[in-house]
Amino acid sequence: MGYSVCNQFEKENIVCPSVLRKHIFTTGAVDNIDHNPSFTTAQGSFHGTGISIFQHPTKGYPGEARSINVISIDNQQTRLGQLPDSYASIPPVAFHRKTGIPEMSKPFASDCQQMPQAIQTENRYMM
């Protein structure tokens, strides 16, 4: 199945779920996933990215089905194709203007009195 998906990528030159339809309005949402971000080490914490893709068909135009991945049992393929460099090489980002961070009028200090209420609010959100 993996080879079939990679062959589909090479044929279409795009990485996306095979059930997506062509020529239809599509939106996406990307968000980070953090579990236990307060840990000072990587042990016990998780950082990831969630990606959701939504298609918006209409009654008049439901989009076009993409070609179906065919999985061949007698496929003797033993090597996967290479992803383009753009999938692995991420150029650095730099600001070309000053961000203007305002100065504080007094030293920052917190007595953490609002922390219990903030934790309760967060736990209500998670339920």
Spell out the per-residue pLDDT of the chain, length 127, in tens. 777 777 777 787 777 787 889 889 999 999 988 777 665 666 667 778 888 999 999 889 899 988 766 666 655 666 666 767 777 777 776 767 776 777 777 777 777 788 888 888 888 766 6
User: Looking at the structure, do residues 80 and 52 belong to the same domain, yes or no?
Assistant: no
| DSSP letter assigned to residue 27 | E
**How many structural domains is the chain composed of?**
2
Q: Is residue 94 in some structural domain?
A: no
| DSSP letter assigned to residue 118 | H
Q: What domain range includes position 82?
A: 1-20+66-88
Listed residue (26, 20, 1, 6) closest to 84, CA to CA:
6
Supply the pLDDT for residue 105. Answer: 78
Secondary structure of residue 113 in the 3-state scheme: coil
